[in-house]
Amino acid sequence: MSEIVIVGLNHRTAPVEVRERLAFPADTVGHALRGLREIDGVSEGVILSTCNRVEACVLSESGYGGVESVKEFLAGFHGVPIGELSDHLYHHLGEGAVRHLFRVSSSLDSMVLGEPQILGQVKDAYGYACEFKTIGPVLDKFFTKAFSVAKRVRTETRVANSAVSVSYAAVELAKKILGDLPDKVVMLIGAGEMCELAARHLLSAGAKGILVTNRTFERAVHLAEEFDGTAVRFEELGVHLKRADIILSSTGSPHFILKREDVEAVIRIRRNRPMFFIDMAVPRDIDPDANEIDNVYVYDIDDLNNVIETNLEERQREAALAEEIVVAEVAGFRRWLDSQQVTPTIVSLRRKFDEVRQAEVAKALSALGTADPKTRKVVESLASSILNKVLHAPIASLKREANGRRPMEMVTVVREIFDLPEEEAEGAREGAERASEQGGTIGGQ
């Protein structure tokens, strides 16, 4: 029976030195997909390659045999001895493979739980397989189902809602303290990467404008141009600080840039309009005593990390709900997958008995000699009627179990009782698909 097989490695099973040796750059994916599809017994294939994981997903006609074949393919394609990969590669088969892809797409298997990029990367992998025509009806259904499961997880849980990066945490805090951001002005003190990222997120969230100051004025001008903001000379910081509602600071200064008395003076000028300071520098740039001033809020890097830790704990709690969704969706997909094995079996069953019917009708007509058309019609009708009555019970059972709990058990029993060869399954499946496309029925009585 055909099984879905996934073979790969990820950030938990392999260091970057190994992952990079198995990575598939975009310009090699087409060649790799064609090679994957040419493996004996592999009828469909998809390759997922990100910085944290490399996985090949195939529909294998030989079940577990497909695992070893895909491992050899990954090693051979990259010229890496299989022995050097054996401790890093994992595999998932059948229902385990279904659960794995659903979890990966829902970001439950990511380095950062709930991160959104992985779903786009899985969609890219699916897109490549469609472009190079290595995906068929089973993996197509499998991946599109994985996309819908990921959407359901994001919609019905909060696994991706809370910030787990310093820059996002800064935005989240700003919204909690200041409310809506469209009328708020942001000031960057220094041009550190975290400040820059936080500023981008704040602007994306609707902040009104941005001021940039830096000891090297040219750097401030360059960064201000990127944000369509205004550069301020560092020595004029005190003059322009009153304009800012949100201040992000990350300099290399060994002492405070803004002392408590500096902030007190500015808040008086602002007539107590709130100011939110995010101090990402170590040593700190903002005097922590400024936090004691009314309507002044000072958060340092440890405060942000505490927010992140709290949010990660919330994501972990939400992940438990997401896992329940995945379990339910795996069961539903497994039933669909099993039903795909039922249809070819029904086709094989009818084909075998129809061959018997035709042979026996020919023998009967030969024994009757030159039978007239009416007699010929009676004999053929009798044979067809007996065939349909004999097949009614087993086909009805197969159809009933296609939506039940044990379709594969029924398929196995029927194939053993009626001695249906496995090699007919693929041909029967194609016949069933053609019949369906032509509006025909399979095994109808």
Does the annotation count 51 as an active-site position? yes
Least confident span in 112-126, 295-309, 350-364, 431-445: 431-445
Burial code (b: 16+ CB inside 10 Å, e: under 16) for 329-352 equals bbeebbeebbbbbbbbbbbbbbeb
Q: Are 342 and 414 in contact (CB under 8 A)?
A: no
Structure confidence at residue 438 as a pLDDT band (50, 70, 90): very low
pTM over 0.75: no
Percent of the chain scoring above 70 in pLDDT = 91
pLDDT at 441 over 50: no
pLDDT at 305 over 70: yes
Taking the C-alpha atoms of residue 398 and residue 135, their distance in angstroms, rounded to an integer, is: 27
Our CA angle for 206, 208, 212, nearest 5°, is: 115
The mean pLDDT of 99-118, rounded to a whole number, is 92
Predicted confidence at residue 109, as pLDDT, reads 94
Q: What is the pLDDT of residues 366-389, one digit of tens each?
A: 888 766 888 888 888 999 999 888
**Length of the chain counted residue by residue:** 445
pLDDT at 100 over 90: yes
Catalytic residue among 51, 57, 130, 195: 51
Taking the C-alpha atoms of residue 401 and residue 379, their distance in angstroms, rounded to an integer, is: 34
pLDDT at 436 over 60: no
Alpha helices (H) along 231-281? 237-240, 260-269
